[in-house]
């Protein structure tokens, strides 16, 4: 599986309150929620994001609340993957559970600039900045998690067991 798109770049500690402000959490409608994705730190994100685009950020992406609406709005907004230096633990679980690809790669997060065109290969973990020609290698997922992703997420994997 591959993705290629334009980069939206953010800093450290991007929290779930800016990914999707709680004032909108009176609904579960993913498309309605996605209209407000990132709006408190980047009001233009929703206007400019196209399917396949790529979010790049620093340390501790997705810190704060356990709201699963956070990875869901990123996915629904069209972003194909989030590349960060590290992820907050609940966000990490939630992203895998709902099927939003995430990749941990400090070097890529440092080197890639806003607006660059980047391609990623989810199977090999290779990240390529097409604008600069640089390539990076993301941390692979533990085997247990790879299996869960292949089974189609958490609910399908426990369904299989029962």
Partner 1 sequence: MGMTMTQKILAAHADLDSVTAGQLINARLDLVHGNDITTPVAINEFEKAGFSEVFDNKKVSIVLDHFVPNKDIKSAQQSKQCRLFAGKQGVTHFYDVGTMGIEHALLPEQGVVGAGDCVIGADSHTCTYGALGAFSTGVGSTDMAAGMASGYAWFKVPSAIKVVLTGKLNPRVSGKDVILDLIGRIGVDGALYKSLEFVGEGVKELSMDDRFCICNMAIEAGAKNGIFPVDEKTIAYMEGRTERPYTVYEADADAEYEQVIEMNLSELVPTVAYPHLPENTHPAADGKNIKIDQIVIGSCTNGRMEDMEAAYEILKGKKIAPWVRGIIIPATMEVFKECIKRGYATAFIDSGCIISTPTCGPCLGGYMGILAEEERCVSTTNRNFVGRMGHVKSEVYLASPATAAASALTGYITDPRTIKEEN
Question: Does the footprint of partner 1 cover residue 25 (CB under 8 A)?
Answer: yes
The secondary structure of residue 15, as a DSSP letter, is: B
Query: Quick one: which segment of 1-9, 94-102, 108-116, 130-138 binds partner 1 (CB under 8 A)?
Result: 94-102
Rounded Cα distance, 68 and 92, in Å: 10
Question: Does the footprint of partner 1 cover residue 153 (CB under 8 A)?
Answer: yes
Residue number, 26 or 47, with CB nearest to partner 1: 26
Number of residues that bind partner 1 (CB under 8 A): 40
**Contact pattern from residue 49 through residue 88 relative to partner 1, giving x for each residue in contact according to CB under 8 A and a dash for the rest:** ----------xx--xxxxxxx----------------x-x
Rounded Cα distance, 48 and 33, in Å: 16
Question: Does the footprint of partner 1 cover residue 35 (CB under 8 A)?
Answer: no
Contact criterion met (CB below 8 Å) for 138 and 109 = no
Helices 89-98, 143-150: inter-axial angle, 10-degree rounding: 30
SS3 state at 137:
strand
Rounded Cα distance, 113 and 31, in Å: 28
Question: Does the footprint of partner 1 cover residue 89 (CB under 8 A)?
Answer: yes
Q: Within 10 Å of residue 156's Cβ, how many Cβ atoms?
A: 11
Question: Does the footprint of partner 1 cover residue 90 (CB under 8 A)?
Answer: yes
Strands 102-104 and 81-84, bridge-based pairing:
parallel
Residue 11 beta carbon to partner 1: minimum distance, rounded to whole angstroms = 11
Residue 129 in tokens: 């900045």
Question: Does the footprint of partner 1 cover residue 149 (CB under 8 A)?
Answer: no
Question: Does the footprint of partner 1 cover residue 161 (CB under 8 A)?
Answer: yes
Query: Which residues lie near partner 1 (CB under 8 A)?
Result: 13, 15, 17-18, 21-23, 25-28, 40-41, 59-60, 63-69, 86, 88-90, 93-94, 97-98, 142, 144, 153-156, 158-159, 161-162
């Amino acid at each position: 599986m591959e993705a290629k798109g334009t980069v939206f770049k953010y800093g450290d500690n991007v929290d779930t309150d800016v990914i999707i402000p709680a004032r909108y959490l009176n609904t579960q409608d993913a498309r309605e929620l996605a209209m407000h994705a990132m709006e408190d730190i980047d009001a233009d994100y929703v206007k400019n994001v196209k399917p396949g685009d790529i979010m790049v950020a620093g340390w501790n992406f997705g810190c704060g609340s356990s709201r699963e609406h956070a990875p869901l709005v990123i996915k629904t907004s069209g972003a194909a993957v989030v590349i960060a230096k590290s992820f907050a633990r609940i966000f990490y679980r939630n992203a895998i559970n709902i099927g939003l690809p995430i990749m941990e790669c400090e070097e890529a997060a440092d080197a890639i600039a806003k607006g660059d065109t980047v391609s990623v290969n989810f199977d090999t973990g290779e990240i390529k900045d097409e604008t600069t020609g640089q390539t990076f290698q993301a941390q692979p997922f533990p085997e247990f998690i790879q299996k869960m992703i292949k089974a189609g997420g958490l609910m399908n994997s426990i369904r299989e067991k029962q």
